[in-house]
Amino acid sequence: MGASIPQLLVNGVALGAAYALIALGFVLVINAVGAVNFAQGDLVMAGGFVAVAIAEYLTPWASENLPELAVVGPGSSGVGLGLVILPLTMVVMAVLGLLFSALAYAPLRHRPPVSVFISTIAVGLILQYGANAVFGPEPRIGPPLVVNGSFALGPITVSIQQLSVILAAGCLIAGTGLLLSRSQLGRQLRAVAQDPEMAEAIGISAGRCIAITFALAVALAGSAGMLLSNQFFVAPSDGGLFMLKAYIAVTLGGWGRLDGAALAALLIGIFEVMMAAFVSYVMAEALLYAGVLLVLLVRPSGLLRETIQRRT
Instruction: Classify the phi-psi angles of 153: left when phi > 0, otherwise alpha if psi is within -120 to 50, otherwise beta.
Output: beta
What is the contact mask toward another protein in residues 249 to 268, using x (rule: CB under 8 A)? --------------------
Among 22, 216, 235, 262, binds another protein (CB under 8 A): 235
Contact 264, 23 (CB under 8 A): yes
Among 66, 177, 190, 237, binds another protein (CB under 8 A): 237
- Closest approach, Cβ 186 to another protein, in A, equals 32
Taking the C-alpha atoms of residue 14 and residue 214, their distance in angstroms, rounded to an integer, is 25
- Closest approach, Cβ 312 to another protein, in A, equals 9
Among 282, 286, 290, 294, binds another protein (CB under 8 A): 282
Contact 193, 213 (CB under 8 A): yes
181 is an interface residue for another protein by CB under 8 A: no
Among 280, 299, 300, 310, binds another protein (CB under 8 A): 280
292 is an interface residue for another protein by CB under 8 A: no
Taking the C-alpha atoms of residue 25 and residue 21, their distance in angstroms, rounded to an integer, is 7
Residue 75 vs 203, nearer CB to another protein: 75
Count, residues near another protein per rule CB under 8 A: 49
Residue 231 vs 307, nearer CB to another protein: 231
233 is an interface residue for another protein by CB under 8 A: yes
23 is an interface residue for another protein by CB under 8 A: no
Task: Give the other-Cβ count within 10 Å of 54's Cβ.
Answer: 23
Touching another protein, residues 118-177 (CB under 8 A): 118, 121-122, 125, 128-129, 132, 136-141, 150, 157, 159
Contact 8, 277 (CB under 8 A): yes
- Closest approach, Cβ 208 to another protein, in A, equals 29
Residue 293 vs 298, nearer CB to another protein: 293
Among 13, 15, 72, 172, binds another protein (CB under 8 A): 15
What lies within 8 Å, CB to CB, of 166 at 6+ separation is 13, 14, 17
- Closest approach, Cβ 97 to another protein, in A, equals 21
Instruction: Calculate the dihedral angle through the C-alpha atoms of 173, 102, 206, 303, rounding to the nearest 10 degrees.
Output: -40
Among 99, 276, 288, 296, binds another protein (CB under 8 A): 276
Touching another protein, residues 57-96 (CB under 8 A): 73-76
- Closest approach, Cβ 232 to another protein, in A, equals 4
Site residues for another protein per CB under 8 A: 1-3, 7-8, 11-12, 15, 73-76, 114, 117-118, 121-122, 125, 128-129, 132, 136-141, 150, 157, 159, 228, 231-233, 235-237, 240-241, 272-274, 276-278, 280-282, 285
